[in-house]
């Protein structure tokens, strides 16, 4: 006979503590409909329920909620009998684990959830975390590529698709979005973020959080999101992974923190710390960042999780003397859950018993964790994400594939198109496709795709074959790598074998057009994949130059996870398409763009350097005291420049071409001066002056000419994605508020100052159309 219990009835008639105990244990007896009825009660709030659960928890059970383990055994197989795996297994059964990561699939999640719900004393369900970065099995473009779309609604939908597949596979929490701003493409994790600009990054951060979490976090197709890595991880010195960060407070508050603040305002469930130090303190131990700023000043209501073992790594940093000291400093700083270092579960009880840590800190952490579990509906039904039929219907659905194809097309950036070589003619041509990445269905998936199946992407050759009007000849030319790549292993590059050159050159000579597919392997960017050179790896550069000698009608299609230094190609190759790593539907997206069935509209979210020596290079830099030679021709030495290369980047932030052309005119500010609390109204006329319908990202930049701290030469403060028919014109309007016109000072205080502002509107960060206005007190 099913044991049915009502939370409200028992909460009124007996102590809240006993009520919670019976409520939790009713998972083992009550059916899902009864649990849902209890949870739908309008008279008991989540906070009251959380507090009542805390009253019956032992200290060991509380600390257990702050412990996250990685998957460590075949969940559907026999239990481990000895070693560390056996300890972890017993910890789950005894309620000393609050979350698991990398456990996935309905069968495995159900088994591990069943273990804690039915075996532990209180049966508190687990959070199941996973790195759902740009899709689960059906993959969207890497996040940097998505940022190139500047299409906020499409990015939001992409995150929703990822959430739907992950949730259908038993997962309820993703370690995304990464909202780190970075100016250094040597850092491999730029592929995981939104680029160099805090305004664009903030819009995308909000979109991704809303996409993952939806309007209702307890819906079966949404998952909790994580804003990471808090904070400044993207400013790693020399672009080297896990390196220190050394930036000033003005950069911290104006460049680094805005996307995190936007994620918090969007209701993100969790924050994750980084591996870096900031101002001499590892961020996992930064009380200023986690407790003073995030939890107190910003009012963050979710919980903070460390990155993998970053608590224990504070010992290696030299900030903590041992594991116990690391746990002490992390929990006092504001970390609520420990990812995989076992520092909390091993050390916190002893620290509390000796008085080194107050139990109130533990209660606050556990309160936050339990609240997220309630919001996800896990107390209502711990098996809500374990529907095998939904898993089967959702993973890889036709609807999801269409969505990621749409996202992939919107992410492509046309960098160059001399003589209108693109779009390709659909009939009567011989086309040679050359390059080691052209027929690769694995690399196109990109990095951070740990749930996907290898080689499940559509290669570019496969996509081009869908167009049958031309004769297509494929020759690899050379191998890029010499080993079988995995998510963990380092890649071994071919630097000597050119045996395929002859066949490739022969095909190129006989072709009307050559499409060269070159770039980085999908596993060459991502975590731990920093580079000191940003050229084409292996023998690809030589292959490209040799092919160009025999056929000047070349289209270069780049596959890469970061900006590359391609100065030779930019000078010589007539057409260049930035196609990134676009995920499952890569080949179809690229083919539709090359053949003109989709007019590219992407814009670069990061500056492309001419060479590595220019890095860091970014559009929103500041003037020095000598930005240009004050007397051109008189003294060409003592000004801010290089002696061997120009200052300008290869391609600026916001840059991207179309098959049509756009004209900007009639930039107008409604009036010459405004009070500091007024909205500034701006308009500009955009015209499609070319031969194709197309979309343009209209970008608005400001410059605050004089302020109490030096301001950037330009700052993106507005953009609109506008679609125009050929020959059509539209008036585009912008409003600037205090939020766009203000800045943070050295102490993190937001201020809006009176003074003169310049406005620039155009197609990229070099926009020349300019006007100005005054802000008055």
757, 703 in Cβ contact below 8 A?
Answer: yes
- Minimal CA–CA distance to 560: which of 221, 148, 203, 205? 148
Query: What is the C-alpha to C-alpha distance for residues 543 and 539, in angstroms, rounded to an integer?
Result: 6
CA 119 to chain centre: 37
Tokens of 466: 């869908």
The C-alpha R_g of the chain, in whole angstroms, comes to 28
Contacts of 321 (CB under 8 A, 6+ apart): 315
Query: What is the C-alpha to C-alpha distance for residues 576 and 538, in angstroms, rounded to an integer?
Result: 20
Tokens 């805090």 locate to 198
Report helix, strand or coil for 500. Answer: coil
Helices (H) and strands (E) in the chain, counts: 25, 26
Query: What is the C-alpha to C-alpha distance for residues 163 and 181, in angstroms, rounded to an integer?
Result: 23
Return the percent helix, strand and coil in the chain, to nearest 5.
35, 20, 45
497: number of CA atoms within 13 Å, CB side? Answer: 12
Active-site residue 381, yes or no?
no
- Minimal CA–CA distance to 275: which of 318, 246, 245, 238? 245
Contacts of 170 (CB under 8 A, 6+ apart): 103, 104, 105, 106, 108, 109, 110, 128, 385, 386, 391
User: Virtual CA dihedral for 668, 674, 677, 683, nearest 10 degrees?
Assistant: -10
- Minimal CA–CA distance to 89: which of 76, 98, 80? 80
- β-bridge pairing 680-688 and 662-669: antiparallel
Q: Residue 488: is it exposed, middle or buried by C-beta count within 10 angstroms (0-12/13-18/19+)?
A: exposed
- Minimal CA–CA distance to 144: which of 437, 528, 526, 701? 526
Partners of 769 in beta bridges: 761
Which segments of 120-168 does DSSP mark as H helices, in order? 143-147, 152-168
Catalytic residue among 91, 131, 197, 307: 307
Give the residue numbers marked as catalytic: 307
């Amino acid at each position: 006979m099913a044991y049915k219990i009502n939370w409200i009835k028992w909460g009124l008639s007996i102590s809240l503590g006993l009520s919670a105990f019976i409520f939790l244990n009713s998972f083992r007896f009550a059916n899902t409909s009864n649990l849902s009825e209890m949870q739908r009660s309008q008279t008991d709030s989540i906070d009251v329920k959380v507090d009542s659960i805390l009253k019956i928890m032992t200290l060991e059970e509380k600390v257990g909620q702050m412990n996250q383990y990685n998957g460590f055994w075949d969940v559907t197989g026999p239990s481990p009998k000895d070693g560390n795996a056996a300890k972890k297994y017993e910890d789950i059964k005894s309620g000393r684990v609050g979350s698991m990561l990398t456990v996935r699939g309905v069968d495995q999640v159900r088994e591990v959830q069943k273990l804690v719900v039915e075996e532990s004393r209180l049966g508190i369900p687990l959070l199941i975390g996973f790195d759902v970065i740009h899709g689960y099995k059906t993959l969207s473009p890497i996040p940097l590529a998505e940022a190139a779309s500047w299409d906020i609604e499409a990015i939001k939908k992409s995150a929703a698709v990822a959430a739907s597949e992950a949730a259908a596979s038993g997962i309820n929490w993703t370690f995304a979005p990464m909202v780190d701003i970075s100016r250094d493409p040597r850092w491999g994790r730029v592929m995981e973020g939104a680029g160099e600009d805090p305004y664009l990054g903030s819009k995308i951060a909000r979109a991704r959080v809303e996409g993952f979490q939806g309007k209702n976090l307890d819906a079966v197709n949404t998952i909790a999101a994580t804003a990471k890595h808090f904070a400044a991880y993207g400013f790693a010195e020399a672009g080297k992974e896990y390196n220190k960060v050394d930036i000033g407070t003005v950069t911290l508050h104006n460049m680094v923190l805005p996307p995190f603040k936007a994620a918090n305002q969007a209701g993100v469930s969790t924050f994750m710390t980084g591996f870096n130090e900031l101002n001499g303190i590892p961020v996992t131990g930064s009380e200023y960042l986690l407790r003073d700023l995030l939890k107190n000043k910003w009012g963050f209501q979710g919980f903070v999780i460390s990155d993998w073992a970053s608590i224990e790594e504070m010992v290696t940093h030299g900030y903590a003397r041992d594991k116990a000291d690391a746990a002490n400093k992390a929990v006092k700083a504001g970390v609520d859950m420990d990812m995989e270092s076992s520092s909390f579960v091993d050390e916190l009880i002893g620290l509390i018993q000796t008085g080194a840590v107050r139990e109130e800190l533990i209660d606050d952490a556990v309160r936050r964790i339990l609240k997220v579990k309630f919001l996800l509906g896990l107390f209502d039904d711990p098996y809500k994400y374990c529907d095998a039929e939904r898993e089967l219907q959702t993973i890889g659905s036709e609807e999801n594939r269409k969505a990621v194809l749409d996202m992939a097309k919107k992410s492509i950036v046309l960098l160059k198109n001399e003589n209108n070589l693109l779009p390709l003619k659909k009939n009567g041509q011989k086309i040679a496709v050359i390059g080691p990445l052209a027929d690769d269905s694995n690399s196109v998936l990109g990095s951070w795709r740990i749930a996907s199946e290898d080689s499940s992407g559509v290669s570019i050759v496969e996509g081009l074959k869908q167009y049958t009007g031309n004769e297509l000849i494929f020759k690899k030319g050379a191998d890029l790598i010499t080993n079988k790549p995995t998510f963990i292993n380092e890649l071994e590059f071919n630097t000597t074998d050119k045996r395929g050159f002859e066949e490739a050159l022969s095909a190129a000579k006989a072709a009307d057009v050559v499409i060269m597919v070159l770039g980085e392997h999908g596993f060459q960017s991502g975590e731990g994949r920093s580079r000191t050179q940003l050229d084409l790896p292996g023998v690809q550069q030589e292959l490209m130059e040799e092919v160009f000698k025999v056929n000047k009608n070349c289209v270069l299609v780049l596959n890469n996870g970061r900006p590359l230094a391609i100065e030779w190609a930019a000078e010589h190759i007539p057409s260049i398409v930035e196609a990134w790593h676009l995920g499952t539907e890569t080949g179809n997206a690229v083919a539709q763009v090359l053949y003109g069935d989709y007019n590219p509209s992407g814009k670069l979210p990061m500056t492309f350097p001419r060479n590595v020596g220019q890095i860091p290079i970014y559009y929103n830099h500041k003037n020095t005291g000598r930005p240009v030679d004050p007397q051109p021709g008189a003294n060409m030495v003592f000004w801010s420049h290089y002696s061997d290369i120009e200052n300008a980047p290869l391609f600026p932030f916001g840059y991207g071409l179309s098959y049509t052309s756009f004209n900007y005119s009639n930039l107008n500010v409604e009036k010459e001066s405004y009070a500091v609390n007024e909205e500034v109204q701006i308009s500009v006329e955009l015209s499609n002056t070319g031969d194709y319908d197309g979309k343009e990202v209209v970008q608005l930049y400001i410059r605050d000419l004089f302020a109490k701290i030096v301001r950037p030469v330009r700052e993106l403060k507005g953009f609109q994605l506008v679609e125009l028919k050929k020959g059509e014109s539209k008036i585009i309007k912008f409003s600037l508020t205090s939020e766009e016109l203000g800045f943070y000072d050295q102490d993190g205080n937001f201020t809006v100052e009176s003074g003169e502002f310049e406005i620039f509107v155009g197609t990229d960060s070099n926009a020349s159309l300019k006007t100005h206005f005054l802000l008055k007190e």
